[in-house]
């Protein structure tokens, strides 16, 4: 990617998840050497600090901690829009994955037509009716594509939804039954873990970038660290066995960096309370750096 200024914004939000602690994820990723690494790549970096959630609240329409998630996303949307309008590149640090509703909404609004690559063990394609838990971190992918909950993308502006034809889910291996039906009916392209086993990450990413990049102004990457096998990334709240290897994860983001099509990155669901000596925070930091062009040799 061209040497734009990189803006870092953290979101200290765990209200969208069932387990506490992921609100400390942004600091853990920074401690992993993120800012120093970005500067070493030759970028100017601006750390915009963190958006801090309101105290946990009540359930509304089956959506747990509705006000906290909505407030954080509304402020994140404004922050990412400010970054994009300044010609900078946003890197958003979570926090639980519900924050992608704010970041992706801003990217879509700014560029008009984007592709979206969602690397995650889960589908995140629930709404008020299909959700089993009521946790809003299981809903943002659906929301930004216009399949609800609409409240997650309504911040006083008319939402610009991401076209399903340009959306790809990679690494899924724990997708709810109702969620799976909704994704198939919507027409989301899904490369679950067994397809990655069959074709390899290089081939999967080649297909994914073609889908997300076709006719779009760029690709937004939303990366949940639970996509990675828990032996390598233990510091996350909803672990699922047999995930991406570390090298598969790095290859995915290295190929995206090479494509020169990335316009924004989310790195989410790092939970330091569950981690081992910030192993997952450091890994998340290195993955962001690879998104920005860091190479092995």
pTM: 0.97
How many domains are contained in the chain?
Answer: 1
What's the longest Cα–Cα distance across the chain?
51
Whether 168 maps to a domain, the answer reads yes
Which residues are the active-site residues?
A: 97, 120, 122, 124, 137, 224, 226, 269
Integer Cα distance of 266 and 288 in angstroms: 9
Distance CA 11, CA 74 (A): 11
268 part of a folded domain:
yes
Residues 6+ apart with CB under 8 A from 227: 119, 120, 121, 170, 171, 243, 244, 249
296 found inside a domain: no
Q: In sequence order, which ranges of the chain are alpha helices (DSSP H)?
A: 25-31, 34-40, 66-85, 100-111, 140-144, 177-186, 193-199, 201-213, 246-259, 279-291
- Specify if 267 maps to a domain: yes
Whether 238 is covered by a domain: the verdict is: yes
Between CA 146 and CA 152 the distance in angstroms is 10
Is residue 78 within 8 A of residue 99, CB to CB? The reply is no
What is the domain-level CATH number for residue 80? 3.40.800.10
Residue-level pLDDT, tens digit, the chain, 297 residues: 567 899 999 999 999 998 999 999 999 999 999 999 999 999 999 999 999 999 877 788 889 999 999 999 999 999 999 999 999 999 999 999 999 999 999 999 999 999 999 999 999 999 999 999 999 999 999 999 999 999 999 998 899 999 999 999 999 999 999 999 999 999 999 999 999 999 999 999 999 999 999 999 999 999 999 999 999 999 999 999 999 999 999 999 999 999 999 999 999 999 999 999 999 999 999 999 999 999 988
Residue 220 falls within a domain, yes or no? yes
Q: Which residue range is the domain that position 18 belongs to? A: 6-291
Bridge partners of 284?
none
Residue 140 in any domain: the answer is: yes
Task: Please check whether residue 14 lies inside any domain of the structure.
Answer: yes
């Amino acid at each position: 990617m061209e040497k734009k200024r990189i803006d870092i914004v953290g979101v200290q939000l765990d209200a969208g998840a069932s387990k506490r602690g992921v609100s400390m994820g942004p600091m853990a990723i920074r401690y992993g050497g993120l800012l120093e690494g970005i500067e070493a790549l030759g970028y100017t970096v601006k750390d915009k600090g963190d958006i801090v959630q309101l105290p946990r609240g009540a359930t509304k329409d089956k959506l747990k901690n509705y006000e906290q998630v909505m407030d954080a996303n509304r402020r994140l949307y404004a922050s990412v829009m400010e970054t994009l309008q300044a010609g900078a590149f946003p890197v958003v640090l979570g926090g639980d994955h519900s924050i992608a509703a704010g970041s992706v909404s801003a990217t879509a609004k700014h560029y008009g037509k984007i592709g979206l690559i969602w690397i995650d063990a889960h589908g995140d394609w629930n709404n008020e009716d299909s959700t089993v838990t009521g946790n809003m971190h299981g809903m943002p992918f659906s929301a930004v594509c216009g399949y609800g909950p609409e409240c997650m993308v309504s911040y006083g502006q008319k939402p610009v939804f991401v076209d399903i034809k340009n959306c790809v889910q990679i690494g899924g291996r724990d997708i709810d039954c109702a969620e799976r039906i909704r994704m198939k009916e919507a027409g989301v392209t899904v490369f679950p873990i067994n397809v990655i086993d069959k074709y390899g990450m290089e081939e999967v990413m080649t297909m994914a970038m073609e889908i997300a990049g076709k006719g779009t102004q760029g690709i937004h990457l939303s990366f949940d660290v639970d996509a990675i096998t828990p032996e390598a990334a233990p510091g996350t709240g909803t672990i699922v066995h047999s995930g991406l290897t570390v090298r598969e994860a790095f290859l995915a983001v290295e190929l995206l960096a090479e494509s020169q099509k990335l316009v924004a990155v989310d790195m989410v669901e790092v939970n330091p309370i569950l981690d081992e000596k910030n192993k997952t925070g450091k890994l998340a930091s290195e993955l962001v750096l690879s998104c920005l062009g860091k190479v092995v040799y």
